[in-house]
């Protein structure tokens, strides 16, 4: 009897031990499964975040390219634009150096003192401080970024007045109903006759350069 009891106790102990080990193994597997799921979830989140970031960057790049293309098409469809203005500036720098003159660009709000007047500010609007005139005919200049308006569209002004001690020059690059005209003045305005007299430049090279820019040649 004692032997049978001992055997029974051993068997029960072995079974309980086996159950404990099995339970421990199952719990360990559950922990590993939870950990694995957590890792997979974090990886999924990281991948999703990366995909969203990449998608956002791509959309932003596409939007920027579209805007740039739209601006380029819009500019190319105008008579005058910033690209043409830049090319004219590069040409005037070389053209002036060939004549030992230093020409600078001017625009509304950034005028040059041409003798007693400010160009172009004093020449613009329907009530200019001094009336521009071609011969005996007064004209009305309006500043334009595109040259597409009617009348006399002033698109660029270049002068050596800031550096020239002797005779000064001011060139008005103008579009008259789409036609390229370069007007020049070299004379000081007279107080008794409040006009700035202009005439078309006789410099064929300068006229051709401006005309070619306007006509995209």
Other C-beta atoms closer than 10 Å to the C-beta of 213 total: 22
Two tokens, residue 90: 């590069």
Q: Left (φ > 0), alpha (ψ -120 to 50) or beta: where does 190 sit?
A: beta
Tell me the C-alpha distance between 45 and 3, whole Å: 63
Burial class (CB in 10 A: 0-12, 13-18, 19+), 58: exposed
Question: Is-contact 95 206, C-beta < 8 A?
Answer: yes
Sequence-ordered strand ranges (E) for 47-194:
104-106, 112-114, 117-119, 131-134, 137-138, 141-143, 152-159, 170-176, 179-185
**What confidence tens digit (pLDDT) does each residue in 36-79 have?**
555 555 655 555 555 545 545 555 555 554 454 334 444 556 89
Return the higher-pLDDT residue of 16 and 156.
Answer: 156
Question: Is the overall model pTM greater than 0.85, yes or no?
Answer: no
pLDDT digits (tens, 9 = 90+) for 140-150: 999 999 999 99
**pLDDT given at position 192:** 72
Average pLDDT (126-153) is 94
Mean pLDDT of 74-96: 90
Residue 8, φ and ψ in degrees, nearest 5:
-65, -45
Rounded distance between C-alpha atoms, residue 185 and residue 168, angstroms: 8
The pLDDT value recorded for residue 94 is 97
* Residue for token pair 């309006």: 142
Greater confidence (112 vs 66) lies with 112
Residue 15 has pLDDT above 50, yes or no: no
Alpha carbon distance 147, 106 (integer Å)? 16
Please tell me whether the peptide bond between 120 and the residue prior to it is cis, using omega within 30 degrees of 0. Answer: yes
pLDDT band at 2 (very low <50, low <70, confident <90, very high): very low
Mean pLDDT over the full length of the chain? 78
* pLDDT per position as a tens digit, 185-201: 998 888 777 899 999 99
Q: Give 62-70's long-range contacts (Cβ < 8 A, gap of 24+).
A: none
Structure tokens given for 174: 């103008």
98-112, 150-164, 188-202: the lowest-pLDDT one: 188-202
pLDDT at 207 over 60: yes
Q: What DSSP designation does 188 have?
A: P
């Amino acid at each position: 009897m004692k032997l049978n009891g001992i055997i029974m106790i051993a068997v029960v102990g072995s079974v309980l031990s086996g159950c404990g080990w099995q339970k421990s193994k199952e719990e360990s597997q559950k922990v590993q499964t939870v950990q694995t799921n957590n890792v997979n979830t974090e990886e999924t989140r990281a991948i999703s975040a990366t995909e969203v970031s990449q998608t956002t960057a791509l959309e932003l790049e596409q939007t920027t390219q579209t805007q740039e293309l739209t601006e380029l098409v819009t500019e190319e469809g105008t008579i005058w634009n910033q690209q043409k203005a830049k090319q004219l500036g590069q040409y005037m720098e070389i053209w002036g150096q060939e004549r030992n003159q230093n020409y600078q660009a001017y625009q509304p709000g950034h005028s040059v003192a041409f003798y007693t007047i400010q160009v172009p500010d004093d020449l613009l609007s329907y009530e200019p401080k001094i009336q521009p005139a071609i011969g005996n005919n007064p004209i009305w200049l309006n500043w334009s970024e595109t040259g597409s308006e009617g009348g006399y569209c002033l698109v660029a002004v270049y002068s050596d007045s800031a550096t020239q001690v002797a005779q000064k020059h001011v060139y008005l690059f103008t579009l008259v109903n789409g036609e390229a005209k370069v007007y020049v003045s070299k004379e000081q305005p007279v107080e008794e006759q409040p006009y700035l007299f202009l005439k078309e430049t006789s410099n064929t090279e300068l006229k051709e350069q401006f005309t070619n820019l306007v006509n995209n040649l």
